């Protein structure tokens, strides 16, 4: 069967554009071929997939059709954007899928699951709480969706967004988030970098996010207390960061939200 026919069986979406923040960090805008976007909540994810090819460039067939390399991605756009979905993705050089995503040109097909999933959402957070949103690297993606959807609504009392990256050039949404925080006094944007050369132009915070979470340092930066009665915490990205922070927060009386504790106030999404 010609390759185009094989691919049209599995590909249901196409790349609209890739916006590069640096050589290995980009925002991908992807639309379903049939148009529209399914209902979803800020913080949810779906999967993207590209067919596997053998050494001769032939599509590898499985029992049910072409084999797909698939991975989960948090949606970075707000649900109010109904034309397409955006994703904030870092290229893992020896990764199975991400180099293939970087091979795509605008208009190229790929698979995008229309079943949007995940419980890393604001659904269980009562209005008026303070929110601490803590992301490493592309773990910022779900927070971009939340911030864009809720900016200016003042649903939450105060929102502190920690954005932890290796280098200043890895803070892809620095400009947008700085502007949003200037316009909405309830939002504080707190980027911090770990490997930026000492003599660079960077004037902001340095060090791992975990170094800024001691209660007094947090209070000073975020403008509210790490108090389990008034605050919900969301963490996303590097699993080592999440494991470390979880201990810090449970020691302060916070409770991880899970099936047994649906009232919990600590929420997380591990990327690997
Ligand atoms: C629910 C969920 C949502 C996700 N959302 C995103 C997202 O919005 N953006 C995104 O870039 N990734 C996201 N990921 C990770 C993504 O699914 C892939 O693992 C990643 O893109 C690497 O895929 P790969 O096939 O190229 O590499 P693989 O061959 O799968 O290699 C994986 C290795 O790459 C490293 N790695 C994977 N993801 C990241 C990452 N994001 N940052 C740093 N190192 C990483 C880890 O060391 C991991 O062991 C998410 C994962 C989950 C479970
Ligand atoms: N970022 C780049 O410049 C770059 C370039 C090319 C390829 N890549 C590839 O992209 C992938 C991901 O890199 P990434 O930089 O996006 O993600 P990352 O490795 O998860 O690092 C993001 C941030 O999280 C911090 N961090 C790591 N462990 C932590 C912990 N336990 N507690 C608190 N903070 C923690 C890192 O600090 P530390 O610096 O202290 O680890 C860094 O500031 C890797 O596979 C990498 O090889 C990255």
| Predicted confidence (pLDDT) per residue in 118-141, tens digit | 999 999 999 999 999 999 999 999
Please provide residue 161's backbone torsions phi and psi, each rounded to the nearest 5 degrees.
-110, 110
In the chain, the N- to C-terminal Cα span, in Å, equals 36
In this structure, what DSSP letter does residue 248 have? Answer: H
Rg over alpha carbons for the chain, rounded to the nearest Å, is 20
86 CB near ligand 1 (under 6 Å): no
For 180-223, the pLDDT digits (tens) are 999 999 999 999 999 999 999 999 999 999 999 999 999 999 99
Name the residue among 74, 87, 185 with its Cα closest to residue 121.
74
Name the residue among 111, 124, 121 with its Cα closest to residue 142.
121
Contact 135, 236 (CB under 8 A): yes
Ligand 1 centroid, distance to 184 Cα (angstroms): 31
Ligand 1 centroid, distance to 102 Cα (angstroms): 14
- The residue whose CA has the least distance to atom 14 of ligand 2 is 137
Contact 143, 234 (CB under 8 A): yes
Q: Render each residue's pLDDT in the chain as its tens digit; 272 residues.
A: 666 667 887 999 999 999 999 999 999 999 999 999 999 999 999 999 999 999 998 999 988 889 999 999 999 999 999 999 999 999 999 999 999 999 999 999 999 999 999 999 999 999 999 999 999 999 999 999 999 999 999 999 999 999 999 999 999 999 999 999 999 999 999 999 999 999 999 999 999 999 999 999 999 999 999 999 999 999 999 999 999 999 999 999 999 999 999 999 999 999 99
* Position in ligand 2 atom list of the atom nearest CA 243: 31
Ligand 1 centroid, distance to 238 Cα (angstroms): 9
Q: Using CB atoms within 10 Å of the CB of residue 119, give its burial: 0 to 12 exposed, 13 to 18 middle, 19+ buried.
A: middle
* Position in ligand 1 atom list of the atom nearest CA 90: 11
Give residue for tokens 């379903």. 32
- The residue whose CA has the least distance to atom 34 of ligand 1 is 92
Q: Is the pTM of this model over 0.85?
A: yes
44 CB near ligand 1 (under 6 Å): no
Distance of alpha carbon 163 from alpha carbon 174, whole angstroms: 9
Name the residue among 264, 216, 231, 272 with its Cα closest to residue 120.
264
Q: Return the pLDDT at 65.
A: 87
């Amino acid at each position: 069967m010609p390759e185009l026919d094989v691919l049209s069986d599995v590909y249901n979406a196409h790349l609209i554009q890739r916006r590069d923040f640096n050589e290995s960090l980009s925002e991908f805008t992807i639309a379903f071929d049939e148009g529209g976007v399914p209902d979803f909540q800020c913080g949810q994810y779906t999967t993207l997939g590209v067919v596997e090819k053998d050494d001769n460039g032939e599509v590898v067939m499985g029992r049910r059709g072409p084999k797909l390399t698939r991975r989960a991605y948090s949606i970075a756009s707000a649900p109010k954007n109904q034309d397409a979905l955006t994703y904030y993705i870092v290229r893992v050089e020896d990764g199975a899928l991400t180099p293939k995503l970087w091979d795509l040109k605008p208009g190229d097909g790929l698979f995008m699951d229309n079943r949007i999933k995940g419980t890393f959402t604001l659904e269980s957070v009562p209005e008026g709480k303070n929110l601490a949103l803590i992301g490493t690297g592309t773990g910022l993606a779900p927070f971009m969706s939340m911030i864009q959807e809720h900016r200016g609504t003042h649903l939450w009392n105060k929102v502190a967004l920690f954005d932890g990256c290796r280098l200043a050039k890895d803070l892809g949404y620095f400009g947008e988030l700085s502007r949003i925080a200037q316009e909405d006094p309830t939002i504080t944007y707190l980027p911090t970098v770990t490997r930026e050369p000492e003599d660079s132009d960077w004037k902001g915070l340095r060090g791992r996010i975990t170094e800024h979470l001691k209660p007094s340092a947090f209070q000073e930066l975020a403008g509210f207390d790490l108090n389990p009665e008034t605050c919900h915490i969301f963490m996303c990205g590097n699993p080592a960061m999440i494991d470390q922070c979880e201990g810090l927060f449970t020691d302060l009386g916070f409770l991880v939200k899970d099936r047994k504790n649906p009232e919990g106030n600590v929420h997380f999404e591990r990327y690997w």
